[in-house]
Structure 1
Amino acid sequence: MKTHARAVVVGGGAVGASIAYHLAKAGWETVLLERDELTSGSTWHAAGLLPLFNMSYATSHIHDYSVKFYKTLEAETGLNAGFSVVGNLRMAQTSARMDEYMLYASNAEAVGIPHEFLTPAQIKERWPLVRTEDLKGALFHPTDGYINPADVTQAMAKGARQRGVEIYRRVQVDGFERRGDDWVVKGRKMVEKGGYLLPSEETFEITCEHVVTATGNHAQRTAAMIGCFIPAIPVEHQFIVTEPDPALLEYRKTHGEHPVLRDADAKWYVREERGGWILGPYERNAPACFKFGVPDSFRADLFPLDLERIEEEYMSMIHRIPSSETVGLKDDFNGPICYTPDGNPLVGPAPGVENFWFAEGFSFGITAAGGTGHYLAQLMTEGEAEIDMWSLDPRRYGKWVNREYATRKNEECYEHVFVLHHPDEEREAARPLRTAPCYERLKAEGAQFGQVNGWERPNYYAPPGFDDHASRSFRRGGWWEYAVKEARAVREGVGLYDATAFTKHMVKGPGATAFLDWLTCNKLPKEGRINLTYALTDAGTVRSEFTIVRLGADEYYIVSAGAAQAYDGDYLVKEAARKRAEFGWIEVQDVSTQWGVFAVAGPRSRELLEPLVVDADPKTALSNKRFPWLSMRRLDLGMVPCMAIRVAYTGELGWEIHHPIEMQNHLYDLLKAQGDKVGMTLFGARAQNWLRQEKSYRAFGSDLGRDASPLEAGLDRFVDLTKSFRGKAAMEALGVRAKCVTLLIDGPVDTDPWGKEALYFGDEVIGRLTSGGWSVAFGKQVGMGYVRPDLATPGTTLQVRMNRELWTAVVAEDSPYDPQNLTIRKDV
């Protein structure tokens, strides 16, 4: 057995085999360890479907790569991966479902995935066994289908061996030890006794630079070995196999294999299996399992079938395929499949340690395996993947996430596989959990909450009795009119927004200034001033967005995206530790829960704040002379000592009021009382999202990500090319492959873009939207996105795909609303 390798992959399912293959393809000496036999985890009982479509741009790329990659394996390895390219028919019973498919399709166009829309009559003509009179239509993607999970895993494993990977079966990993810059993977060889697989006395150690775990249902156990909890907990998934269907056998005499069927409104998929059907439901009340880890006795085992739980889905299959009514059941499966709270897997660096990587929590592991191996290998060997992997990063979940939360959310996620995925959806399980002190006050004012990083955050405000869930839509939901009123109130008067969910860090110490100057691309602010800046990846793309407030010579207050608390915190801590020997001592402290934040914005902001300022001359305390734009001052508002920052994400005159969180309710009451006198409006995240697009303010996680440099994002003014910083040379070498632009859109009367739509120039897809919404300033839709550089000139006319039609989209100048920043700099 090898004792040294560049990388060790733990887990021999489809995901682990793909990672080993792609690391070896990149030239890394790799070892794969499997506790039992290859495919003995969830891989062996997976149905092997390969659904290409996904609302996520990154996940769509991963699935697309998998499908294309699997088709090449037989030529490379000589093993048939069992890929049946039969297509996938997504049926719709409702107009809302067709709206969902139209948004799917526009996203797919941006990725380059073929598809076609079908009417009920066209469905019936092609596939006469399907009942269609109650359908609105369907979306058909012809290039996918299903694959044999065991065969594709063995093919990838053979390809990995051909590239030099050593694969060891029946070896259990018991721990990971850090020795200097290396990892030591420790374990024991397994032996079979009485049908059980048990650890023997024979131990092993492998020293390596990198470890990747792809351990499926065992993810909690392996993560705990490095002192980490990740919310990857399995849920029971059932599927049944019928006896041969005579009608299907007759159909096959003159036709090719039936496509995979998905009746999303009935919550199931169906595909052919040896003349019969496989039904895979995603029913309500499917329980999580292995909450505290997989028992040692569990191998390639299954749970008892619970037919009562899937009776509704079974009957709906009979309705959709009437010939299946008289067909008996041949086999059944009820096995564990790992989930995460948002349904995306956990792919990327483990928090708190170096060179340790997770590839866990795959609910669609066969579909994602090939692409995960490809892009994770890029991340490990090249420093970054060519697509933005932020939405999959394990550090999108903070330390506040525990087993109970993960269990509830994973059960909800399973149930929601086929529930309408409105872009404005907010799932209810395990909420409210993290609440700012003013939560109940805002709720009483009609706040309709969403959540970010577990925090409850107002999306908008509505009158009593309003049903947020019923208002959701792929077009303009019932909330739209309230967001319009809020956005207009900020532009014309003054609004208050609860921004407590922001991530906040203190960075200080003798090495802090040199460290942050190296880490970020903009010049550091002077004391009492602020700067917007970016930390880059080694590939020269945007890794993080920071607002840096300089409190002293070597003391900084750093604000970043609320969703990025663990993501940015882990990065700052790790990078500071690496650089202490070079720059001196650097202390990083997460103070996110110590400070609440209220954002005050609008032309009447001074009228709201001045009467509350405790100052010898309160009339001038907020003037440009004493409190200029992009500066910070410590202010007392009543009895509350605040850090006030003159900046506004809305593009209006405004301040962020950072305050001790335990004093938040007192401060809110002061602001509300004064606000009632000046017509203050409470506003939420949806109005703010529209307003920031009118100013071309890029949003991290959508417009800004690890697939574009700050120069490509149009952030040249925040890049100081006279200094050295991490990723500078790589950024310059990239050039400008695409350019972020703001677009004003003459779109449909009832639909705004969501930031997932394809952009056209003539008949060619030349980019995609990354944000979208409604502009109260221009009375039309607004969006931001990436296009070819030659099409980024203001005035260029493009088109955007919405509701299956193309609509005119004109490239606007950057910051189309108030391009001179006159309102945001307005003096008394």
Structure 2
Amino acid sequence: MRTHVKALVVGGGAVGASVLYHLAKRGWDVMLVERDELTAGSTWHAAGLLPYFNMSYASTHIHDYSIRFYKTLEEETGLDPGFAVVGNLRMAQSRERMEEYMLYAATAENVDVPFEWLTPADVAERYPLVRSEDLVGAILHPTDGYINPADVTQAMARGARRRGALIERRWQADGYEWTGSEWRVTLTRMAERGGNLVPTEERVVVTAEHVVTATGNHAQRTARLLGIKTPAVPVEHQYVVTEPDPALVAWRKAGNPEHPVLRDVDARWYVREERGGWILGPYEDGAPARFRHAVPAGFRADLFPLDLERIEEEYMGFIHRIPSVEEVGLKDDFNGPICYTPDGNPLLGPAPGLRNMWLAEGFSFGITAAGGAGKYLAQVMDAGEAEIDMASLDPRRFGDWVTTEYAVTKNEEAYPFLLKLHWPDEERPAARPLRTAPAYDRQKALGAQFGQAGGWERPNYYAPEGFDDMASCSFRRGGWWPFARAEAEAVRNAAGLIDASAFAKHEVRGRDAARFLDRFTTNTLPKVGRIALTYALTSAGTVRSEYTILRLGEDRFRLISAGAWQTYDGDFLRKAAEDWLSEFGGDVAIHDVTNQWGVFALAGPNSRAILQELVDDPEPATALGNRRFPWLAMRELELGMAPVQAVRVAYTGELGWELHHPVEFGRHLWDRLMEAGARHGMKPVGARAQNWLRQEKSYRAFGTELGRDASPLEAGLDRFVDLGKEFHGKAAMEALGRRFACVTMLVDGPEDADPWGRESVWLDGERIGRLTSGGWSAAFGRSIAMGYVRPDLAAPGTRLKVRMFRDLWDAEVTEESPYDPRNERIRADAAAPGAMAQAAE
């Protein structure tokens, strides 16, 4: 056993073996330790399916690489991973399911994943054992299929060994200690006694610059050893193997090809051929989470008892779809733990609060994702960034507020949702409401339909009493659409009040705070009492985080960022400050004040009149005018009995203010604003209308237009980049050039649908870009979208096409900020009349 390596991988399943392989391929000195045998965890009982289908852009890249990579392993290693490239057929019983496939296909198209559309007649002709008369259609991925999980893991392990990597079995990680420059990992030798694995007295300490945990079902134990929280908790997944099906045996004996993996997702199951029979894998309701704290000491390559009653409905759906199996018996069954996370995506990336500790946990599709997860994590560890934006998989998307009960509840919800309709406007109900701002009950009484961001409840829109949010979901314009449109119109013509308390908020203080932030961010720092929008970059020169900086004093700043990224942004900020201090020394302190401050955004031409009714000032008529309160300024105000830090800025592009207040005043301030606003046509407004409004101003959003795929220059944010100073990532940003350009488009799409921000963009039969956001423009009376295209196609007036529901629809590139491009309304010194008609002209 080596006692010092550059990287130590803990966990010998498919994911751990892939990380080992790809780090070794990059020339790293790396070792893997496994407490039992390779593949002894969930890998051994996985069904080995390799489905492309995934709504996540990053996950689709990961799955695509895995499928292509696995096809090369036999030639490289001499081991056959058992890849049966039979394809994958997803059937649809409804129009809504086909529309889901069409939306998914936009992601697949943007990643160059091959697929085919099949009619029910096509299914019947190709696969006569499959009942198809009640289908609407299907989508076929011809290049994927299934693989032997143990064999592909062993092949990656052999490939890693050939590159100098070491694998040590029967060693359990029992302690992790960071020395300031490396990790000291205490390993205990495990021995088999009476069929169980037990620790011995033999101990070894391995030092490593980096550690990767890929511990699967043991993720909760790993998190406790590291002193962090993780929502990775296993859920039972069962599948059954039938006896040979005479009809299938005859089909194959006649020389016909093997069936693709069949998925009747409306019936919530998959099947594939297995030695003349079928493997049926259901995703039923009621599957329980297991090992909420730790895997029992005696649990190794073990299974749980089968619960046939729980899968009865799915089994009957199997018989309906493949009638020949009705008289076929069961030969074998499996019911084992598969790790999940609340959103179904793995935890892949840096551990929160820790240096050089990397998580590769929570893989519900571990075999499919293993190859790509290893590749892209190795890129991050070696080069600082992956070639794709992995923020949606980052472990820090979940904060310290996540508890075990939350993880269990959400993971039990996520499991059956795997094959339920993935509505783009859905809000899953489990474990909610959880984090609520003081005005939550007031908003609920007004008909607020809530979404969640980082666990926070925030209104998506307001609806009449009795409206069913879940029933209104659609791949077109959901039942909520008219309410969001009315809210957007209110902001443009009168006023709207938005609860933005979920914003992440961090204060940077100390005598060297300004020096640190000047190096940390791209823009010139604001003066005291002013604000600035700025960006922190990755080492690759792309956007790592977006911050609005409020300068509260010479040595005190508040950084506001996206609400869903509180831990993500805070961890990055703290580590950047530590790095800066280690290089330059000085006095800088980071404080997370998210829960101390609420935020209301008041916007619209009547917003000044509303605030003037509430402001306590010797000259209220001038308190909010341009001379005393200019655009992008901050002032301390008293509104009613609430002390407020008011900031003159509006994400909607109208005259407006953000009202930052001590969180305990939230209910009082909401009531006073609603009372005053009622006299000026104000409506409470949700996040969906706000999202539409910001697109009319071409305001980029983190997680859509902004991320690690593009630099701020490629995003068209030159005005927020001070090239006259030095900042982290500057040289890399300049070296990237401008590979593509961010544009706003008006889209003439279907009468009952708007783009969702995943669609591909075309010109003359060539795909030339992709959308990142989409919606409806109240100002222009058309669909609106933002996205990236080739730089030569970014000029206003350029005519393009956007694919929606398999068809190409006309789109036109607009000028930057098509609504009020000169910012006359947001800078207005007196209330201006509604200008939606002018904008539409």
TM-score of the aligned structures, taking structure 1 as reference length: 0.99
Aligned match of 1:452: 453
Alignment correspondent of 2:92: 92
Give a deviation string over 1:570-599, Cα, whole Å, max 9, x none.
111122122224141111111111111110
Structure 2 counterpart of 1:403: 404
2:631 aligned partner, one-letter code: W
1:8 is matched with 8
Q: Single out whichever of 565-574 and 491-500 deviates more from structure 2.
A: 565-574
Q: Secondary structure at the match of 1:225?
A: helix
Q: What is the rounded CA distance, in whole Å, between the counterparts of 1:500 and 1:725 in structure 2? A: 30
Spell out the pairing of 1:206-217 with structure 2 (5 A cutoff). 206-217=206-217
Give the distance between the partners of 2:26 and 2:720, measured in 1 at CA. 35
Q: Distance in 1 between matches of 2:792 and 2:169?
A: 54
Aligned equivalent of 1:53:
53
How do 1:106-145 and structure 2 match up within 5 A? Answer: 106-145=106-145
Q: Deviation at 1:229?
A: 1.4
User: Equivalent residue of 2:61, what SS?
Assistant: helix
Amino acid in structure 2 at the alignment position of 1:59: S
* Alignment partners' CA distance in 2, 1:149 and 1:65: 16
One-letter code aligned to 1:653: L
Q: Which amino acid aligns with 1:566?
A: T
Q: Which residue of 2 aligns with 1:529?
A: 530
**Aligned match of 2:540:** 539
The structural deviation recorded for 1:111 is 0.7
- Give the aligned residue type for 2:371: G
Q: How does 1:189-204 map to 2 (within 5 A)?
A: 189-204=189-204
Matched residue, 1:725? 727
State the one-letter code of the partner of 1:517: D
CA contact (8 A) 1:514 1:583 kept: no
User: Structure 2 matches for 1:181-260, cutoff 5 A?
Assistant: 181-253=181-253, 254-260=255-261
State how far apart, in whole Å, the 2-side matches of 1:613 and 1:580 are.
Answer: 42
Query: Do residues 443 (structure 1) and 444 (structure 2) align?
Result: yes
Shift of 1:180: 3.0
> Could you tell me how far apart the structure 2 residues matched to 1:154 and 1:793 are?
52
Is 2:782 aligned against 1:780? yes
Moved more, 562-571 or 176-185: 176-185
1:236, distance to aligned residue in structure 2 (A): 0.3
Letter matched to residue 89 of structure 2: L
AA of the residue aligned to 1:251: W
Say whether residues 1:27 and 2:27 are aligned partners.
Answer: yes
1:41-66: CA deviations, max 9, x gaps? 00000001111121111110000000
Secondary structure in structure 2 of the residue aligned to 1:219 = helix
Cα distance in 2, alignment partners of residues 536 and 93 from structure 1: 46
- 1:337-736 correspondence to structure 2 within 5 Å: 337-581=338-582, 582-736=584-738
Distance 2:794 2:34 in 1: 50
- Structure 1 equivalent of residue 104 of structure 2: 104
Tell me which amino acid in the other structure corresponds to 2:377. L
TM-aligned CA deviation for residue 566 of structure 1: 0.5
Q: Secondary structure at the match of 1:128?
A: coil
**Post-superposition shift, 1:360?**
0.2
| Deviation sequence 1:730-750 (CA, Å, 0-9, x none) | 111111111111111111111
1:389-439 CA distances to partner (integer Å, 9 max, x unpaired)? Answer: 100000000101000000000000001011100000100000001111100
Partner SS state of residue 714, structure 1: coil
Report the Cα distance in structure 2 between the residues aligned to 1:178 and 1:80, rounded to whole angstroms: 40
**Aligned to 1:760, what secondary structure does the other structure show?**
strand
Deviation at 1:353, TM superposition (A): 1.1
Question: What residue in structure 1 maps to residue 835 of structure 2?
Answer: none
Distance in 2 separating the partners of 1:778 and 1:577? 48
SS state of the match for residue 326, structure 1? Answer: coil
Distance 1:209 1:26 in 2: 15
Q: SS state of the match for residue 55, structure 1? A: coil
State the Cα deviation string for residues 45-104 of structure 1 (Å, max 9, x = none): 000111112111111000000000000111110111110110110000011001100101
Per-residue CA distance 1:786-821 (angstroms, 9 max, x = gap) = 111121122111111101100111111111111111
The CA distance in 1 between the partners of 2:292 and 2:220, in whole Å, is 9
1:84 partner letter: A
- Using the alignment, how far apart are the partners of 1:427 and 1:659 within structure 2? 30
* Cα displacement string for residues 413-470 of structure 1 (whole angstroms, at most 9, x for unaligned residues): 0010111000001000000011111001001101010111111100000111111111
> Which stretch of the first structure deviates more once superposed, 567-576 or 158-167?
567-576
* Cα deviation code 1:482-537 (max 9, x no counterpart): 11100011001100001010011111101111111111011100111100000001
The number of aligned residues is 828
Question: What is the CA–CA distance in structure 2 between the aligned matches of 1:560 and 1:488, rounded to whole Å?
Answer: 26
2:237 and 2:90 mapped to 1: Cα distance? Answer: 20
CA–CA distance in structure 2, aligned partners of residues 79 and 817 of structure 1: 60
Code of the residue aligned with 1:301 in structure 2: it is D
Match of residue 739, structure 1, among 732, 738, 741 = 741
TM-score (norm 2): 0.98
Which stretches of structure 1, 4 residues or longer, exceed 4 Å deviation after superposition? none
Secondary structure of the residue aligned to 2:594 is coil
- Name the SS of the counterpart of 1:192 in structure 2: strand
2:158 aligned partner, one-letter code: K
* TM-aligned CA deviation for residue 554 of structure 1: 0.8
Deviation at 1:193, TM superposition (A): 0.9
Other-structure match for 1:154: 154
Tell me the amino acid that sits aligned with residue 111 of structure 1.
V
Residue aligned with 2:620, SS:
coil
In structure 1, C-alpha distance between the alignment counterparts of 2:144 and 2:302, rounded to whole Å: 29
Cα distance in 2 for partners of 1:24, 1:623 equals: 63
Q: 1:804 & 1:700 partners in 2: Cα distance? A: 28
Task: State how far apart, in whole Å, the 1-side matches of 2:638 and 2:179 are.
Answer: 51
What residue in structure 1 maps to residue 317 of structure 2? 316
Partner of 1:302: 303
Asked if the contact 1:497–1:600 (Cα under 8 Å) also holds between the matched residues in 2, the reply is: yes
* SS of equivalent residue, structure 1 residue 301: coil
Partner Cα distance (1:682, 1:145) in 2: 49
Cα deviation for residue 783 of structure 1 reads: 0.6
Name the residue aligned to 1:814. Answer: 816
Percentage identity across aligned positions?
Answer: 69
**2:267 pairs with 1:270:** no
Contact 1:446 1:463 in 2 (8 A): yes
SS in 1 for 2:675: helix
| 1:319-338 alignment runs, 5 A limit | 319-338=320-339
Aligned to 1:663, the other structure's residue is in SS state helix
The Cα shift of 1:179 comes to: 1.8
Tell me the distance in 2 between the aligned counterparts of 1:272 and 1:789.
48
